[in-house]
Structure 1
Amino acid sequence: MKILTHWLRSYLPAISVSDRQLADDLTLRGIAVEGVFDLPDGNGSLFEMDITTNRVDAMNHYGVAREAAAIYDVPLPTLDLTLPTPAAGDAYPVRIEAPELCGRFTARVIRGVTIQPSQGEILSRFAALGQKPISNAVDITNYTWLAMGHPTHVFDLDKIEGAIVVRTAHKGETIKLLDGTEKTMLGDELVVADEKKALGLAGVMGGWDSRVTEETKNILVEAAWFDPASIRKSSRRHGLHTDASHRFERGADLAAAAAANALVSKLILEVCGGTLHGELTDVVVPAQEAKTAKRAPIALAVSEVQRLLGTTTDGKGVTAAVVEQYLTALGCVLAPTGEGAYDVTLPSWRLDIEREIDLLEEVARVYGYNRFANTLPSFAGGVVELPYEAPERAVRSTLLAAGFTETISSTFASEADSVTFAGGGVPMGNPLSEEAGNLRPSLLPGMATMLATNLNRDVSDVRLYEMGTRFTGSTVTIVEEPSLSLGATGGARATALVSEADALFYELKGALEKLFARFRVSAPVYAAANLPTWVEAGRGATVFLNGQVVAVIGELSQAEAQKRKLKQAVWLAEVNLARLFAFPLRTPLAHEISRYQAVERDFSFVFPDTVEWSAVEAAIHGLGIAELLRITPVEIFRDPKGKAVAAGHYSLLTRVLFQSQECTLREEELSAWSASIMQTLETLGGKLRT
């Protein structure tokens, strides 16, 4: 947003500070000035502003002037909106057929105008702001939102057939817009139309067929208020982001429509000539007005302001007089209800103020956060560990040790991803975009996106995990659950028992089993049935712990991989942490380190492929040898030609470690244990390899 200081000062001639000081003071009050650029010929400065999305009221010169007037305690004059007496005639007919989407619509007829290029102050200010001039009448509408923030539009009156009708579009209806593009409506967009055709996409862009040209002689001036969510949907759907949509979708001022119409009309009469015909048409939807311009007052107690804001650097604190001064300057009306208590009627242009704490923040902001003393709040009691702190710490330490990096993704997801990864999600009433329209029902869409981002930046070997919240239920009742997602791609290494294509599955499976081993649960059970649609057929498993589903692991399907333009296999897993955390953590036990020497013994056996390592390990542990500390698979070997090791078999070198806490082990003990191990492995179907 660009602001001209000489335009600001035309509203506030009493301000004597320099432009640089004005920029600093505005920035300290949350109206950030990111750059100050001197203009030639003594025309002041150009402010490059960064106005947050909730402060649409400050996205114009008069709005910034209001902030400056509050800071410096100078009066802000009202805009001159006086108009000549109109010629006799009926007000132009307007009909709102979508009252839930259009809360107010004003219209005024001006006849006998002359359309030509802009000159004078409008042209010079446009040049300083980098605003493209079009024609005097159209430029005045743009000048008005730059001045006071409310978007307006002018129609060629002679191209309108009958009354103005504000309605939803007909499915398949086409509109040629001012940028020359033709848009086909889906049926729920809001349009401004006449009795026969749509004239423009409401709140976004006017139509080509009713535009003002050099031949235009009669004009209809429009200023309205449209529902923010509706404008955002239309803007995103048709790929249009205009100055009007930028303001409407953030919440315009319903009460400003008539004032904006009057300002445009006044300037058109001055610049384009012509005469007013008929009174202003002003159609207001009471339900929308009650939610915006006529909201109920908010109770405010000065004692609460003082309690929460604390002491000031001058030691005086925020007094009732200060509260009244700043809130009144910002447009609030304070009605005393007792000593130090008020009912505060909110200004129509500040839809971001909803509660007492918001008013308190406004007082602190205008007073200046830098003027409050640096004090810590009082605290009583001790630090209490959250219920999930210990298991979450176990998850982090385990996965970091396994080579995974922790990440954080967005808590929003698209409708398509919500359906694909969880069967549906919780839609938001006011989403940022269609790509982020749901609260995420799963962490997997975010994980898939992060893996794709790494691959697109030539990072081909990635191991990530994320702990976060997933959301289920409905917009009425939202259920939040802790969840864990893991993702792996690239760097797969084949072994004698595992192919390269399957290596990532076993890597993720191993990471999950290391994690499950931190809890008091039985060994996980894997099942390949009832897998979600995002898993490639035959390439995943559902994980059960103590009889209940705790996790899903699988390769991302080809359809999803192509949608994300992934050129290599991606494996994902999601763990229901609420169910996992229901199991207690295992308590580590520390043993005294033995003073006696440990002894290793190796056993090389050939086994059929049907014998798994878990069976070998369990059989050796089943011997109950107290001095047996560790069993390790050292080497697995296959012979593709079937000479050294027969086809369907593999050679396994197993190393065991013996150590006693009480004495040095004797050779006869070691021999006896070794013989027992060999006999056990032969019983499993193994054959000693010589």
Structure 2
Amino acid sequence: MKILTNWLRTYVPNIPADDLQLADDLTLRGIAVEGVHHLGPNNGHLFEMDITTNRVDAMNHYGIAREAATIYNLPLLPLLPETASQPPASTPFPVRIEAPHLCGRFTAQVLRNITISPSTGSIADYFGLLAQKQISNAVDASNFVLLGMGHPTHAFDLDKLEGGIVVRLARQGEKLKLLDGIERILEADDLVVADEVKALGLAGVMGGWDSMITPQTKNILVEAAWFDQASIRRSARRHGLHTDASHRFERGADFNACPTANALVSQLILQSGGSLEGGLVDILIPEIAARTASRPPIQLSVLQVQRHLGTTLSPEGLTQEIVVQYLTALGCELTPLSSSKNDSAAALDAFNRDPQVGGAASALSSVSTIPEDLFSVQLPSWRLDLEREIDLIEEVARVYGYNRFANTLPTPGIVIAHPTSAAEAAVRTRLLALGFSESISSTFASQSDSDLFSTAGKGTIAMENPLSDEASLLRPSLVPGMVTMLAHNLNRDVKDVRLFEQGHIFTGDTNEVYESSQLSLGLTGASSSTTLHSAQDAPFFELKGVIESVISLFTLTGGSAALSFTLQAPDWLQPGRSATVLLNNTPIGGLGELTRAEAQRRKLRQPIYLAQLDLAVLYALPLRQVTAHDLSRFQAVERDFSFTFPDATQWHTIAAAIHALAIPELQRLAPVEIFRDAKGKAVAAGHYSLLLRAVFQSHERTLNEDELSHWQSQIIATLTHLGGSIRA
């Protein structure tokens, strides 16, 4: 956004700082000036601003002027001088709102005998410095007010209207040619400004071709309205439009700005001749006003401002006078709530015991007086981002200047670790050690991704005000983000990728949202083949091993046998190359290769392997405590066992059976060699040869041969019972 300092100073004439200092002071208060350009003698500077999306009130010259007036404690000049109101017409211009939930306010002013001509004066001067296209005095007046005070307006050729104004939803398939010359087919939930016969414009986005101002225009209807944010965003995205008007409406326009904006536009147009006809028509929906401009006041305690913000560099600190000064300058109306000074100590004590906003109210109701520092704050209509006491505290800190606070550490004992922080750190450390890199994906997901990757029956959460169609839902799974990140790497010729993400997913509905911790794993690229697995299958078993390693961090009920896998898997995984993770026979995740159809649809250059694990289940378990012992000074003894087993006999079954023998001196058990014979000669088809090595060692004595023979016999009997045969 571009701001002219000369224009800015017309609203705050006596700013004591030069333009460069003003830029620094604004930036330190969160109104970032990213570039300052000198415009020549007497023209001041051009500020290139970076305004965050929640500060739509500052996306104009008057909003920045309000910030400057607050910083320097100067008066802010009104947008309109006080003038006598125009008497209403005998027959007011008819305006009807048929979609009151989407249009909360609509103002209309009739202008007669207008002369359409090029703009002159300050409009022409400022537009030239801003490189703003000039069209005509009527259209430029609307653009000037948008840049000046930030509220969109529109001018209709009154003689082209058939009847009064009707704000309604479009009819399915209705056609409307907009000012860009393109005819668009409207949907049933598009909001339009129409007359009694036809649509005149796409509300809050762009006006229509058939009612635009031309050199032949003589009579004008000036409109300034308030439209619902979500409705404007949907229509703008649907029709591929992003205008200055939609940019403001999507972020929350000022409900109370409509009459002022309309009057300013009318005043500017009338400078070239013409007259008003009747007074301003102002249709207002009380229910919309109640949740925007007339929101209930919130309580603010100066004690809480001081407690949250801490020590300042100046000795006087954040006094009550400073807090009131800043918030009043920003447009808040502060009313003291103190009733008397009796028993104030008891009231303060009760207040400090329960310092939150709701808690403050309950604490104050239990005593006969209210603390002297407590205020009721009526919020300004242009600051929809202010909702709670902490928001006001943040505003005080911002205007005061973060650089004016002392560098202090929190009081010992205040910071408490989250209950799952140790488990999260253990999982993160293990995965980093296994060669995975941590990643973070978007919290939002598209409808198509949610349909594919969400768990059946869990439900998805639609955003009330989504940023785009590709981010319309809270993510019900971490997998879509992981797929996107793997694809991003592959598209940039990074072929070997190992990623993990610890995050939260959201299920349920808009009435009740469930949030749970999940782990997502993704890998693609070359994996080394083994005697058991081909290079093609190795990534799956690598991923399976990573999951086993992560789960081994926790103390499982039932020991290692509690973990198992089944071939059934989610629909987004390739059948036969996927599995479900079971913990005590309860599914806690899935792993495998992304389906070939989905990989082809996403144009992935090579197979990718994914896993999602329910960390909430694991976090409910205690972390496994690792213990260390002194090394034994007695000799270790190794014994090898060569057996053949059916393919159905899995390693964890063998290991669990041997460990169940409870031989204290058995220090290590590991497969040394696994062999299959494709021809079925050395090892029968459907079987594999296993060379198993057991290591025995005592911390108290040297082992004798009788003990070793007894343990060896126990192991052989156990392996035989499992279906194994000693290999000659």
TM-score, normalised with respect to structure 1:
0.91
Asked whether the equivalents of residues 37 and 47 of structure 1 are also in contact (C-alpha less than 8 Å), the reply is yes
Deviation at 1:481, TM superposition (A): 1.8
3-state SS of paired residue (1:249): helix
Tell me the distance in 2 between the aligned counterparts of 1:342 and 1:657: 75
CA 1:38–1:461 in structure 2 vs 1: closer, same or farther (change >3 Å)? same
| Counterpart amino acid of residue 460 in structure 2 | G
Deviation at 1:7, TM superposition (A): 0.7
3-state SS of paired residue (2:670): strand
Matching residue of 1:525: 564
| Counterpart amino acid of residue 557 in structure 2 | V
Match of 1:572 among 610, 623, 626: 610
**Aligned ranges 1:591-602 → 2 under 5 Å:** 591-602=629-640
Matching residue of 2:154: 153
CA 1:378–1:575 in structure 2 vs 1: closer, same or farther (change >3 Å)? same
Asked whether the equivalents of residues 302 and 374 of structure 2 are also in contact (C-alpha less than 8 Å), the reply is yes
| Counterpart amino acid of residue 251 in structure 1 | G
**Aligned ranges 1:49-128 → 2 under 5 Å:** 49-80=49-80, 90-128=91-129
Q: Deviation digits for residues 102-127 of structure 1, max 9, x if unmatched?
A: 11111112233333443443233223
Tell me the distance in 2 between the aligned counterparts of 1:6 and 1:583: 65
CA 1:677–1:372 in structure 2 vs 1: closer, same or farther (change >3 Å)? closer
CA 1:684–1:288 in structure 2 vs 1: closer, same or farther (change >3 Å)? closer
Tell me the distance in 2 between the aligned counterparts of 1:489 and 1:85: 72
Asked whether the equivalents of residues 83 and 262 of structure 1 are also in contact (C-alpha less than 8 Å), the reply is no
Tell me the distance in 2 between the aligned counterparts of 1:554 and 1:184: 44
Asked whether the equivalents of residues 178 and 205 of structure 1 are also in contact (C-alpha less than 8 Å), the reply is yes
CA 1:624–1:284 in structure 2 vs 1: closer, same or farther (change >3 Å)? closer
Match of 1:420 among 413, 432, 452: 452
Deviation at 1:605, TM superposition (A): 5.0
Matching residue of 1:164: 165
Q: Deviation digits for residues 450-493 of structure 1, max 9, x if unmatched?
A: 22222222222222222222222222222222222222222234
Deviation at 1:626, TM superposition (A): 4.7
Tell me the distance in 2 between the aligned counterparts of 1:571 and 1:244: 45
Matching residue of 1:583: 621
Matching residue of 1:15: 15
Deviation at 1:23, TM superposition (A): 0.9
1:482 matched to 2:517: yes
Matching residue of 1:535: 573
Matching residue of 1:406: 438
Q: Deviation digits for residues 7-27 of structure 1, max 9, x if unmatched?
A: 112222222321011111111
| Counterpart amino acid of residue 50 in structure 1 | D
Q: Deviation digits for residues 163-215 of structure 1, max 9, x if unmatched?
A: 11111122222222222233322211211111122111111111222222233
Matching residue of 1:494: 529
Matching residue of 1:553: 591
Matching residue of 1:185: 186
Tell me the distance in 1 between the aligned counterparts of 2:73 and 2:653: 83
CA 1:631–1:108 in structure 2 vs 1: closer, same or farther (change >3 Å)? same
| Counterpart amino acid of residue 420 in structure 2 | Y
Matching residue of 2:668: 630
Matching residue of 1:359: 392
Tell me the distance in 1 between the aligned counterparts of 2:381 and 2:192: 25
Higher mean Cα deviation, 430-439 or 41-50? Answer: 430-439
What is the root-mean-square deviation in Å for CA atoms of aligned residues? Answer: 2.9
Match of 1:342 among 360, 375, 378: 375
Provide the identity percentage: 62
Deviation at 1:54, TM superposition (A): 1.6
Matching residue of 2:215: 214
Tell me the distance in 1 between the aligned counterparts of 2:88 and 2:621: 82
Tell me the distance in 2 between the aligned counterparts of 1:137 and 1:321: 45
Q: Deviation digits for residues 334-373 of structure 1, max 9, x if unmatched?
A: 3333344433322221222223333333233223333333
CA 1:506–1:312 in structure 2 vs 1: closer, same or farther (change >3 Å)? closer
Deviation at 1:497, TM superposition (A): 2.7
Matching residue of 1:429: 464
Deviation at 1:683, TM superposition (A): 6.9
CA 1:621–1:307 in structure 2 vs 1: closer, same or farther (change >3 Å)? closer
CA 1:676–1:290 in structure 2 vs 1: closer, same or farther (change >3 Å)? closer
Asked whether the equivalents of residues 526 and 535 of structure 2 are also in contact (C-alpha less than 8 Å), the reply is no
Matching residue of 1:306: 306
Tell me the distance in 1 between the aligned counterparts of 2:566 and 2:69: 69
CA 1:674–1:402 in structure 2 vs 1: closer, same or farther (change >3 Å)? same
Tell me the distance in 1 between the aligned counterparts of 2:682 and 2:576: 33
3-state SS of paired residue (1:172): coil
Asked whether the equivalents of residues 523 and 608 of structure 2 are also in contact (C-alpha less than 8 Å), the reply is yes
Asked whether the equivalents of residues 86 and 278 of structure 1 are also in contact (C-alpha less than 8 Å), the reply is yes
Tell me the distance in 2 between the aligned counterparts of 1:637 and 1:374: 65
**Aligned ranges 1:145-294 → 2 under 5 Å:** 145-271=146-272, 273-294=273-294
Matching residue of 2:367: none
| Counterpart amino acid of residue 464 in structure 2 | G
Q: Deviation digits for residues 59-99 of structure 1, max 9, x if unmatched?
A: 11111111111222222221236599689663321110111
Q: Deviation digits for residues 527-554 of structure 1, max 9, x if unmatched?
A: 334x433223343222221232222223
Asked whether the equivalents of residues 33 and 49 of structure 2 are also in contact (C-alpha less than 8 Å), the reply is yes
CA 1:674–1:286 in structure 2 vs 1: closer, same or farther (change >3 Å)? closer
CA 1:648–1:332 in structure 2 vs 1: closer, same or farther (change >3 Å)? closer
Tell me the distance in 2 between the aligned counterparts of 1:660 and 1:560: 55
Matching residue of 1:505: 540
CA 1:89–1:133 in structure 2 vs 1: closer, same or farther (change >3 Å)? farther
Asked whether the equivalents of residues 297 and 376 of structure 2 are also in contact (C-alpha less than 8 Å), the reply is yes
Gaps of 5+ in 2: 339-371
Tell me the distance in 1 between the aligned counterparts of 2:260 and 2:623: 66
Tell me the distance in 1 between the aligned counterparts of 2:720 and 2:319: 89
Higher mean Cα deviation, 492-501 or 48-57? Answer: 492-501
Tell me the distance in 2 between the aligned counterparts of 1:433 and 1:603: 62
Asked whether the equivalents of residues 521 and 545 of structure 1 are also in contact (C-alpha less than 8 Å), the reply is no
3-state SS of paired residue (2:23): helix
TM-score, normalised with respect to structure 2:
0.87
Asked whether the equivalents of residues 88 and 280 of structure 2 are also in contact (C-alpha less than 8 Å), the reply is no
Tell me the distance in 1 between the aligned counterparts of 2:650 and 2:291: 68
Asked whether the equivalents of residues 427 and 475 of structure 1 are also in contact (C-alpha less than 8 Å), the reply is yes
Matching residue of 1:449: 484
Gaps of 5+ in 1: none
Tell me the distance in 2 between the aligned counterparts of 1:681 and 1:324: 81
Higher mean Cα deviation, 599-608 or 65-74? Answer: 599-608
3-state SS of paired residue (2:611): strand
Deviation at 1:316, TM superposition (A): 1.3
Q: Deviation digits for residues 616-635 of structure 1, max 9, x if unmatched?
A: 54565566655443233233
Higher mean Cα deviation, 108-117 or 451-460? Answer: 108-117
**How many equivalent pairs are there?**
687
